[in-house]
Structure 1
Amino acid sequence: MPLVKRSLTLHGHRTSLALEPEFWDVVDGHAQAEKRSLAGLIAEIDDSRDPDDPLSSAVRLWVLRQLRAT
């Protein structure tokens, strides 16, 4: 499955994040439902992750927790 790469600004710095489309669907849907920006949601996930963990892994785990909570 190909990854979809998106560029974001987090805390004033440009970065890119590559995830499978299914993960982006959940992240986008959550951001839309909460009427917040994608960058804001990813920044929140970034702030809560262990600095040694890759951001992409933190987002995937966040998606898993969201799906388990429903």
Structure 2
Amino acid sequence: MQTVYSNPCIRCGKDRIVSKEWTQQIGNTVLTRTDTVCPDKDCQKALDLDMEEKRLKKEAIMNRKSLPQKTPVS
């Protein structure tokens, strides 16, 4: 049974479409995963670029946090 849901694009507001659906088993649990995309290819490209920029920024922040802290010199 398919569940009907609304998943609007965060940029243009159009209903996103399912591009890929798969199941994955982890231990005794079976997960159903779904990737969705905007039907407007230009909008999806722009969204992908925005998400990549955010991912890189977050990664840089996490790397900066993992560096050893400098101790002040007296």
TM-score scaled by length of structure 1: 0.29
TM-score scaled by length of structure 2: 0.28
The structure with higher relative contact order (CA 8 Å, sep 6+) is 1
The structure carrying a bigger helix percent of its residues is 1
Asked which structure has the greater CA Rg, the reply is 2
The structure carrying a bigger strand percent of its residues is 2
